[in-house]
Amino acid sequence: MFLKNTWYVAATPEQIDAQFADGAKPLARTICNERMVFYRGDNGVVAALEDFCPHRGAPLSLGRVTEGKLMCGYHGLHMGCEGKAVSMPGQNVQNFRSIRAFPAVERYGFIWVWLGEAALATPDSIPHLDWYNNPEWAFGGGHFNINCDFRLMIDNLMDLTHETYVHSNSIGQKEIDEVPCQTELKGNEVVTSRFMHNIEPPPFWKLALRGNHLADDVLVDRWQICRFTPPSNVHIEVGVAHVGHGGYDAPAAHKVYSVVVDFITPETDTSMHYFWGMARKFNPSDAALTDTIRAGQNKIFSEDLQMLEMQQKNLSTHPTRRLMTLNIDAGGSHSRKVIERLLAEETAQQNKVTA
Amino acid sequence: MFLKNTWYVAATPEQIDAQFADGAKPLARTICNERMVFYRGDNGVVAALEDFCPHRGAPLSLGRVTEGKLMCGYHGLHMGCEGKAVSMPGQNVQNFRSIRAFPAVERYGFIWVWLGEAALATPDSIPHLDWYNNPEWAFGGGHFNINCDFRLMIDNLMDLTHETYVHSNSIGQKEIDEVPCQTELKGNEVVTSRFMHNIEPPPFWKLALRGNHLADDVLVDRWQICRFTPPSNVHIEVGVAHVGHGGYDAPAAHKVYSVVVDFITPETDTSMHYFWGMARKFNPSDAALTDTIRAGQNKIFSEDLQMLEMQQKNLSTHPTRRLMTLNIDAGGSHSRKVIERLLAEETAQQNKVTA
Amino acid sequence: MFLKNTWYVAATPEQIDAQFADGAKPLARTICNERMVFYRGDNGVVAALEDFCPHRGAPLSLGRVTEGKLMCGYHGLHMGCEGKAVSMPGQNVQNFRSIRAFPAVERYGFIWVWLGEAALATPDSIPHLDWYNNPEWAFGGGHFNINCDFRLMIDNLMDLTHETYVHSNSIGQKEIDEVPCQTELKGNEVVTSRFMHNIEPPPFWKLALRGNHLADDVLVDRWQICRFTPPSNVHIEVGVAHVGHGGYDAPAAHKVYSVVVDFITPETDTSMHYFWGMARKFNPSDAALTDTIRAGQNKIFSEDLQMLEMQQKNLSTHPTRRLMTLNIDAGGSHSRKVIERLLAEETAQQNKVTA
pLDDT of B66 above 80: yes
Asked whether residue B355 carries a pLDDT value surpassing 80, the answer given is no
Residue C134: pLDDT band by 50, 70, 90 thresholds? very high
Partner-chain residue, chosen from C73, C89, C96, that has the shortest CB–CB distance to A178 = C89
Specify the pLDDT at position B145.
98
Quote the CA–CA distance of C14 and B108 in Å, as a whole number.
Answer: 61
**Whether residues B43 and B170 fall in one domain:** no
Residue B219 falls inside a structural domain: yes
Distance from CA of A51 to the nearest CA of B (A): 8
Q: Please determine, for residue B236, whether its predicted confidence score (pLDDT) is greater than 90.
A: yes
Of the pLDDT bands very low, low, confident and very high (cuts 50, 70, 90), residue B261 is: very high
Tell me how far apart the terminal alpha carbons of chain B are, to the nearest angstrom: 20
Task: Locate the chain C residue with the closest alpha carbon to B78.
Answer: C165
pLDDT of A198 > 80? The answer is yes
Asked whether residue A352 is domain-assigned, the answer is: no
* Cβ-defined contact of C54 to A324 (cutoff 8 Å): yes
Question: From B35, which residue of chain C is nearest by alpha-carbon distance?
Answer: C314
A328: which chain C residues are within 8 Å (Cβ-Cβ)?
75, 90-91
Distance from C-alpha of C166 to C-alpha of C307, rounded to nearest angstrom:
9
Question: Which chain A residues are closer than 8 Å to C49 by Cβ?
Answer: none
Nearest CA distance, C111 vs chain A (angstrom): 24
Q: What is the mean pLDDT of residues C108-132?
A: 97
- Specify whether A150 is located in the same domain as A111: no
Instruction: Say how far residue A53 (Cα) sits from the centre of its chain.
Output: 29
Mean per-residue pLDDT for A88-108? 96
Same-domain pairing of B151 and B120? no
Q: Give CA torsion, residues C234, C240, C245, C247, to 10 deg.
A: 40
> CA of A324: which chain C residue's CA is closest?
C55
A159 and A112 fall within a common domain: no
* Mean pLDDT score of chain A: 96
Question: What pLDDT score does A42 carry?
Answer: 86
Give the CATH number of the domain where residue C182 resides.
Answer: 3.90.380.10
Where would I find the H helices in C282-329?
Answer: 287-317
Answer whether residue B355 is part of any domain. Answer: no
Does residue A230 have a cis bond before it (omega within 30 degrees)? no
Summarize the confidence of residues C151-180 as an average pLDDT. Answer: 95
Q: What is the pLDDT of residue B354?
A: 73
pTM for this one?
0.94
- Give the CATH number, domain containing residue A76: 2.102.10.10
Instruction: Inspect the interface and report whether the beta carbons of B178 and A90 lie closer than 8 Å.
Output: yes
Q: What is the side-by-side order of every strand in the sheet holding C138-146?
A: C138-146, C271-280, C255-268, C233-242, C220-229, C189-199, C182-186
The single-letter DSSP state of residue B124 is: G
Distance from the C52 Cα atom to the nearest Cα atom in chain A, whole angstroms: 7
The predicted pLDDT at position C320 comes to 94
| Final residue before a domain boundary, out of A98, A124, A150 | A124
Q: For the segment C255-268, what is each residue's pLDDT rounded down to a tens digit? A: 999 999 999 999 99
**What does R_g of chain A's alpha carbons equal in angstroms?**
22
Closest CA to A326 of C98, C64, C73, C54: C54
- Specify the DSSP class assigned to residue C328: G
Distance from CA of A204 to the nearest CA of C (A): 19
Q: Is the domain of B117 the same as that of B187? A: no
> Residue C279's beta-bridge partner residues?
C139, C259
Question: Are residues B266 and B170 part of one domain?
Answer: yes
For the segment B94-110, the average pLDDT, to the nearest whole number, is 97
Whether residue A239 has pLDDT greater than 90? yes
Chain C residues within 8 A of A164 when measuring between CB atoms: 76, 89
Of the pLDDT bands very low, low, confident and very high (cuts 50, 70, 90), residue C351 is confident
Compute how many other C-beta atoms are within 10 angstroms of the C-beta atom of residue C253.
Answer: 12
Most C-contacting residue of A323, A325, A336 (CB-CB within 10 A), to test interface: A323
Cα–Cα distance measured from residue C192 to residue C186, given in angstroms and rounded to the nearest whole number: 11
Distance from CA of C56 to the nearest CA of A (A): 5
> Domain containing C46: what range?
7-124
Q: Is the dihedral of CA B39, B41, B46, B51 positive or negative?
A: negative
The DSSP call for residue C248 is: G
Write out the DSSP string of A205-255: HHHHHHHTT--SSS-EEEEEEEEEETTTEEEEEEEEEETTS-GGGS-GGGE
Neighbours of C347 (CB within 10 A): 12
**Cβ contacts (< 8 Å) between B93 and chain C: which residues?**
none
CB-CB under 8 Å, C310 with B89: no
Residues A141 and A257 in one domain: yes
Question: Do A152 and A68 fall into the same domain?
Answer: no
Secondary element (H or E) of residue C34: strand C34-40
Of the candidates C252, C17, C269, the residue with the CA atom closest to the CA atom of residue C149: C269
Question: Is A355 a residue whose pLDDT tops 80?
Answer: no
Amino acid letter at B47?
A: A
Q: How far apart are CA B234 and CA B331, in angstroms?
A: 11
Question: Cβ–Cβ of C323/B55 closer than 8 Å?
Answer: yes
Please give, rounded to a whole number of angstroms, the shortest distance from the CA of A124 to a CA of chain B: 33
pLDDT at residue A352 is higher than 90: no
For residue B349, is it within any domain? no
Q: What is the pLDDT of residues C185-225, one digit of tens each?
A: 999 999 999 999 999 999 999 999 999 999 999 999 999 99
Instruction: State the average pLDDT over residues C123-140.
Output: 96
Whether residue B350 has pLDDT greater than 90: no
Q: How far is C57 from chain A (nearest CA, A)?
A: 6
d(CA C23, CA A217): 29
| CA separation for the pair C259, C354 (Å, rounded) | 42
Determine the Cα–Cα distance for residues C142 and C275; give it in Å rounded to an integer: 6
Listed residues A124, A155, A188: the one ending a domain: A124
Crossing angle of helices B150-158/B287-317, nearest 10°?
Answer: 120
State which amino acid sits at residue C14.
E
Among the partner residues B155, B178, B321, nearest to A89 by beta-carbon distance: B178
B159-210 residue pLDDT tens: 999 999 999 999 999 999 999 999 999 999 999 999 999 999 999 999 999 9
Whether residue A101 is found in the same domain as residue A225: no
Together in a domain, A135 and A115: no
Same domain for C101 and C174, yes or no, is: no
Please answer whether residues C71 and C78 qualify as being in contact, where contact means their C-beta atoms are separated by less than 8 angstroms.
yes
> What pLDDT, on the 0 to 100 scale, is given for residue C42?
86
Chain A: give the shortest CA distance to residue B253, in Å: 34
Considering only alpha carbons, which residue of chain B is nearest residue C168?
A: B73
Residue C314 with chain B: CB contacts under 8 Å: 35, 51-52, 57-59
Query: Are A315 and C91 in contact (CB < 8 Å)?
Result: no
Q: Do C104 and C248 belong to one domain? A: no
Q: Evaluate whether residue C98 is within a structural domain.
A: yes
| Other CB atoms within 10 Å distance of the CB of residue C244 | 13
A355 is a domain residue: no
Q: Is residue C2 part of a domain?
A: no
Are B324 and A90 inside 8 Å of each other by CB?
no
CA dihedral B181, B186, B189, B192 (to 10 degrees): 0
Identify the CA nearest to C10 among candidates C305, C297, C263, C234: C263
Q: Is C151 in contact with C339 (CB distance < 8 Å)?
A: yes
Residues forming a β-bridge with A229: A233
- Has residue A132 got a pLDDT over 80? yes
> Would you call C314 and B62 a contact, using CB atoms and an 8 Å cutoff?
no
Backbone phi, then psi, for A158, in 5-degree steps? -95, 0
Alpha-carbon torsion (C326, C332, C334, C336), positive or negative: negative
The Cα–Cα gap between A102 and A313 comes to 32
CB nearest to A74's CB, from B166, B315, B317: B166
Q: Would the pLDDT of C313 be above 90?
A: yes
Please give the tally of structural domains in chain B. Answer: 2
Å between B56 CA and nearest CA of chain C? 5
CB contact under 8 A, A166 and C97: no
* Confidence (pLDDT) at C35: 97
A-chain residues near B317 (CB < 8 A) = 35
Pick from B25, B37, B49, B56 the residue to mutate for testing the C interface (most C CBs within 10 Å): B56
- pLDDT at residue C293 tops 80: yes
Burial B304-341 (b: 16+ CB within 10 A, else e): beebbbbbbbbbeeeeeeebbebebbbbbbbbbebbee
ipTM exceeding cut-off 0.95 for this assembly: no
Q: What is the pLDDT of residues A295-313, one digit of tens each?
A: 999 999 999 999 999 999 9
* Nearest chain C residue (CA) to B75: C162
Please say whether the beta carbons of C264 and C272 come within 8 A: yes
Measured between alpha carbons, how far is B124 from B138 in angstroms, rounded to an integer?
24
DSSP string, B237-302: EEEEEETTS-GGGS-GGGEEEEEEEEEEEEEETTEEEEEEEEEE-SSTT-HHHHHHHHHHHHHHHH
pLDDT band at residue C132 using 50, 70 and 90 as cut-offs: very high
Among the three residues B97, B124, B151, which one is the final residue of a domain in this structure? Answer: B124
| Average pLDDT score over residue span B3-12 | 98
- Chains touching C (at least 3 CB pairs under 8 A) are A, B
End-to-end Cα, chain A, rounded Å: 20
Q: Let me know: does C342 contact C230? Beta carbons within 8 Å.
A: yes
Task: Provide the pLDDT for residue A354.
Answer: 73
Q: Which residue of B has its CA nearest to A78?
A: B165
B contact test, residue of C324, C327, C328 with most B CBs within 10 A: C324
- Residue C348 domain flag: no
Residue A97 distance to chain B (closest CA, Å): 8
For residue C346, which of C240, C231, C253, C254 has the smallest C-alpha distance?
C231
Do A75 and B321 count as a contact with CB atoms less than 8 A apart? no
C307 and B51 in contact by Cβ < 8 A? no
The reply to whether omega before C231 is within 30° of 0 (cis) is yes
Q: How many CB pairs under 8 A join A and B?
A: 69
Which residue, among C304, C326, C327, C329, would best test binding to B if mutated, counting the most B CBs under 10 Å from its CB?
C326
* Confidence at A351, pLDDT banded by 50, 70, 90: confident
The pLDDT of residue C39 is above 80: yes
* Chain B touching partners, 3 or more CB pairs below 8 A: A, C
Do the chains contact at A306 and C62, CB–CB below 8 Å?
A: yes
Q: Which residues pair with A256 in a beta bridge?
A: A240
Residue of A nearest to B179 (CA): A90
